[in-house]
Amino acid sequence: MIPSDWARASVQREYSLPVQREELVGRYVPDPDRPSRQFATLLDYVEEHQGDRVYVESPYVDFDYRAEYSNLYARGFNPPPDKCERLLFFHGEEFLGFCVVRPTFKPVGRTALRPPPALARYVTCTAPHVVRPYGLRFEVKAWPFISQDGVYGRCAHAAIWAISRYHHLKHQGPKQSLAAIVEAAGTTVVTDKTSRSAGLYLHEVADAFAGLGLPTIPYQPSNTRDLEATLCRYLNSGLPIALTTPGHLTVLIGYGYDEQGLFFVRGDDNTGAYERTRIVLSGKEAWEMLLVPMPARILVPGAAAEIRARRNFAEQAGATETTEPVLDALIADEFRYRTYAIDAAEYKAKLPARGLGPEVVDHHRFVPASVWIWITEFQRRDEPGGKRVVGELAIDATSDPRDPQPLFANLPGRVVSWLPGESVPQAKEVPVVDLYDTALEPEQHGAS
Amino acid sequence: MNPEIDDQNQQVSGAGPLGQILSTELGTSAPIEDYHRPLRAEDRSRLDSELEEVERAQAEAASKLPNLYAG
């Protein structure tokens, strides 16, 4: 039952938490026999942040709900309201995030809420969300979340929407609605008959991503060498991963280690934006397939980039007597590899803060590079802190995946460049820097 | 702030970080076969085989798209 004053300007505009939690739930999830797990989880996250205030923006016209509404609900005889209400969560003056509430069976629409404190440092896929209620401006970094409405969109649509919206906010990709996802999946004909969506087949999921400009790299978990390292490479790069389990599609958005070992942070439209999960290879929760939607111009998979980087780095380590100890250390397996994709301009901008030495910084900044590059760091296994990198090598992410091309590298005492059109690399000696800072966060130590 | 580029030798003069970066010398070229200790053929072959394995696994994964995900 939708409240009679839904989306009117006269609604109650403020709630205190936790005191008025039940009132809030009573308004937005009025039927106790049809609870909203997503709404409950959302409020749990807010309370974990000690959120104490909820402001209501009403009416609120939402881009995504309007797309659902105009493509499906408006065709019904007695459609639900066409407007939403938006909840703005605060802890004191601190903005925690927002939730667009839809007047539908599953009310949680577009939502961005700061990751809960216990998981925040493990979430690698967050994007800035800006809201401007009443002429004010607030920003929060969060994973974009939406629950399926169970009619126009299902779990697959919600997961695709979240990944697409993330890339829009993070990498300036196009802003896509659920309607665009339905169309890109090639399933418009179903919803044109004003019938419920039955979900998407995996090939339709892949088609939808491709149609939205995010072609996918597929992985079969049971048949992927170094699965943990494979996943960590993408998450280190801030690239979310679509995960299929029997009948369900969710998104991996981070990882970390606890007393039980490696875990992943997953956005699940049936529960919430941030939940802890682990690799499962059999049974009802088995991981069936992984799809990594790539922003345009990343053609080389992370594993291929790392393998080629290891070869090129080893070749350069044998170049001179100065670099020979690095080759010996490689042969003795004293290094671990940490690989991530990054926008080359962002990579170059961050170089001076890492203690590489000015000659290396200027060299890497000068060498031409593709927009997206893969970086493999060669780190000493026996160094626990952030200052543990011996050298690194950049791979052109736009090159042929069967023959990834190096761009530039540094190892102690030497910098190397592979210029377009040149058949052999150029190199010069630079002052030796033994160890310098990793570009990855402390939690992103990955697996290998 | 604009650096001045000498057409004759491509050297850059001028102050600031851009001038400094554009003055970078990349060094000399040498075929990797002439290196002090070239990578062993078996190591190169092993890494190239790993690369081919990645390609094969992905082709196999791409062929398995049968299941319905309705949430």
Centroid of chain to Cα A89: 23
Nearest to A105 by CA among A145, A151, A59: A151
B46 vs A contacts (CB less than 8 Å): none
Q: What is the pLDDT of residue B6?
A: 45
ipTM of the complex, rounded to two decimals: 0.75
Query: Is A432 part of the contact surface with chain B (CB cutoff 8 Å)?
Result: no
**Residue B7 banded pLDDT, cuts 50, 70, 90:** very low
pLDDT per residue as tens digits for the range B12-67: 555 688 888 888 889 888 888 888 998 888 988 999 999 999 888 888 887 775 55
**Both A242 and A316 in a single domain?**
no
What's the farthest any 2 CA atoms get from each other in chain B? 66
Which among A293, A321, A350 is the end of a domain?
A293
pLDDT attached to residue B51:
92
* A231 and A326 in a common domain: no
Q: How far apart are CA A293 and CA A312, in angstroms?
A: 27
First-to-last C-alpha distance (Å) of chain B:
57
**Are the C-beta atoms of A202 and B66 separated by less than 8 Å?**
yes
Q: Identify whether residues A321 and A422 lie together within a single domain.
A: yes
Position A413 scores a pLDDT of 94
Alpha helices per DSSP H over B5-40: 16-22
Nearest chain B residue to A304 by CA: give it.
B51
What number is the average pLDDT over the span A154-168?
A: 92
A368 part of a folded domain:
yes
Give A177-226 as a DSSP string. Answer: -HHHHHHHTT-HHHHHTT-----EEHHHHHHHHHHTT--EEEE-GGG-TT
Task: Count the alpha carbons within 13 Å of A239 in the hemisphere toward its beta carbon.
Answer: 27
CA distances from A422 to A300, A407, A418, A426 (A): 21, 11, 7, 9
Calculate ∠ Cα A241-A164-B53, nearest 5°.
Answer: 35
Boundary (domain end) residue, out of A238, A272, A293: A293
Nearest CA to A400 among B51, B41, B6?
Answer: B51
In a domain, A124, yes or no: no
Question: Is residue A360 domain-resident?
Answer: yes
Domain ends where: A233, A263, A293?
A: A293
Report the Cα–Cα distance between both ends of chain A, in Å, rounded.
53
Nearest 5°: CA angle at A245, between A243 and A251?
A: 25
User: Does A141 fall in a domain?
Assistant: no
Whether residue A314 is found in the same domain as residue A432:
yes
Residue in chain B closest to A269 (alpha carbons) equals: B71
Q: What are the residue boundaries of the structural domains of chain B, listed by start?
A: 4-62
Strands A216-219 and A248-258: unpaired
- In this structure, the answer to whether residues A287 and A357 fall within a common structural domain is no
A102 assigned to some structural domain: no
* Spatial CA neighbour of A45 closest among A104, A111, A109, A107: A111
Q: Assess whether A427 and A392 both reside in one domain.
A: yes
Round to whole Å and give the CA distance between A55 and A87: 6
How close B19 gets to chain A, by Cα (Å)?
Answer: 10
Nearest-neighbour CA in chain B from A303: distance (Å) = 7
> A302-317 and B41-62 are packed helices; what angle lies between their axes, rounded to 10 degrees?
170
Residue A364 lies in domain:
302-437
Same domain (yes/no): A329, A414:
yes
For the domain that residue A289 is a member of, what is the CATH number? 3.90.70
Pair (A423, A328) in one structural domain: yes
Judge: A307–B60 Cβ closer than 8 Å, yes or no.
no
Q: How many domains does chain A have?
A: 2
Confidence of residue A228 (pLDDT cuts 50, 70, 90): very high
What pLDDT shows up at residue A197? 59
Residues A312 and A425 in one domain: yes
- Does A261 reside within a domain? yes
On the question of pLDDT at A199 being above 80, the answer is no
Cis before residue B38, ω within 30 degrees of 0? no
* Pair A52, A16: CB distance under 8 Å: yes
How many beta-carbon pairs below 8 A join chains A and B?
159
pLDDT digits (tens, 9 = 90+) for A346-389: 999 999 999 999 999 999 999 999 999 999 999 999 888 889 99
Omega before residue A59 within 30° of 0, cis: yes
Band (pLDDT 50/70/90 cuts) for residue A152 is confident
**Does residue A337 form part of some domain?**
yes
Neighbours of B60 (CB within 10 A): 13
Could you tell me which residues of chain B have a Cβ less than 8 Å from any Cβ in chain A? 20-32, 35-39, 43-44, 47-48, 50-55, 57-58, 60-62, 64-71
Residue A182 covered by a domain: no
A269 & A330 share domain: no
Give residue A335's pLDDT: 95
- A308 and A430 belong to one structural domain: yes
Instruction: Check if the beta carbon of residue A393 is closer than 8 Å to that of residue A440.
Output: no
Same-domain pairing of A383 and A265: no
What confidence tens digit (pLDDT) does each residue in A99-126 have? 999 999 889 999 999 999 999 999 999 9
